Structure 1
């Protein structure tokens, strides 16, 4: 139930509970917009997939920003990695940084995989995190080392493919969404979607190798956090 209506919902004829539920479905699970439309229709809620898309653009960005603002200070060990993605038939590179707990610090879509692109990622990370890491871990791409020497020369840099599994694994949800969405439409589309998706996905991430009681407790905490971010409790 909504206690005091958040002003971000002003002017929308659908209740905040429905808006938040649709946004949660779209970003939490590998669903297309039309799949979300059908799931809502199964509950008697007639909403077009285009409306869901617009909700995702506006409210997803707001919720992701609030999640970042409420997040504690992140880890001092950065894992950086880049993967190739195809956008409208052209090859681009998705650069991603995560900390030692697997929290996605930032993503950046670029058309190049070189030192200039690596420097741009490091500058963006430093600006957003407000501090340099204690350790930076990457694969053996030489661009990372060249960029680090320019941007933060005092940071320890470990280059070993086996040490960077955390960053490499963080790309898997993106690959699943890429298949469901039948490819991304533009670099801006990828950047906006993942900047929201990665934040919401982390809230509901499942603890690894945890007992059933731990999983249930983590899920309850996640829904509590989600209610604080959206101003709406998840309907039973």
Structure 2
């Protein structure tokens, strides 16, 4: 699969991009660096200046917010199937002055299944995540979770009426793979010093997750 920053160039989205003041290749490369490495916007401003490209860090931020949704749409059409044994958990992400919740699942091999940023950590949020993940990836055979009552209640609700219910496991050590994956995501967002608002957080986290998924594909 092509690198994430090249996928947009061969898609139908290119014809929709008008009045760009920088080469598209430069914009996509800068966006990819932001979501792929532990870099701040000012780091990228300096790196571009060293290459003879004068661009303000606020412009880089606008590029990320504008182009990540296009990349997300392009990648969604090419996402490879994931395994049917999922490890699901949620982690904390600071948005403004408040903590929000990033729901995530990986398969047994550590490949990202899906992700969803939510304002609350409860049964409704977990149900929303599972419905989205199943809609995009098909039903899992098994889901491993921690001792969260909300996650358990969400899975039991989804199982209601199913002829073949999803097997639910609450085994903490089996969830180490998704907890380690949380750390990788947090390492990338640390230089960002939190997110301005919920919309920016959702878009930037999507870019990070999509890059991680793309990197795991041969």
TM-score norm. by structure 2 comes to: 0.84
Aligned partner (choices 196, 207, 210) of residue 185 of structure 1: 196
- SS of the aligned residue for 2:195 comes to coil
Aligned partner (choices 76, 84, 89) of residue 68 of structure 1: 76
The C-alpha deviation readout for 1:25-58, integer Å capped at 9, x for no partner, is 1111111111111101101111111221121112
The C-alpha deviation readout for 1:151-177, integer Å capped at 9, x for no partner, is 135001111110011211121133223
Residue of structure 2 equivalent to 1:58: 66
Report the CA distance shift for 1:4/1:181 in structure 2 as closer, same or farther (over 3 A): closer
Gaps of 5+ in 2: 1-5
Aligned partner (choices 144, 152, 169) of residue 151 of structure 2: 144
Aligned partner (choices 182, 203, 206) of residue 195 of structure 1: 206
Aligned partner (choices 155, 163, 172) of residue 166 of structure 2: 155
1:14 CA drift (Å): 1.5
Aligned: 1:117 with 2:125: yes
Q: Distance in 2 between matches of 1:10 and 1:169?
A: 41
Residue of structure 2 equivalent to 1:213: none
Report the CA distance shift for 1:122/1:3 in structure 2 as closer, same or farther (over 3 A): closer
The C-alpha deviation readout for 1:86-119, integer Å capped at 9, x for no partner, is 3333232221112223232222222332222221
Aligned partner (choices 25, 30, 37) of residue 29 of structure 1: 37
Q: Is the 8 A contact 1:106 1:195 kept in 2?
A: no
Q: Is the 8 A contact 2:126 2:150 kept in 1?
A: yes
Gaps of 5+ in 1: 206-217, 222-236
TM-score norm. by structure 1 comes to: 0.78
Aligned partner (choices 27, 47, 52) of residue 55 of structure 2: 47
Q: Distance in 1 between matches of 2:187 and 2:55?
A: 25
Report the CA distance shift for 1:159/1:3 in structure 2 as closer, same or farther (over 3 A): closer
1:127 CA drift (Å): 2.3
The C-alpha deviation readout for 1:64-103, integer Å capped at 9, x for no partner, is 3222211222221221101223333323222111222323
Q: Distance in 2 between matches of 1:202 and 1:4?
A: 19
CA RMSD of aligned residues (A): 2.4
Number of positions where the alignment pairs a residue of Structure 1 with one of Structure 2: 206
- SS of the aligned residue for 2:77 comes to helix
Q: Is the 8 A contact 1:136 1:158 kept in 2?
A: yes
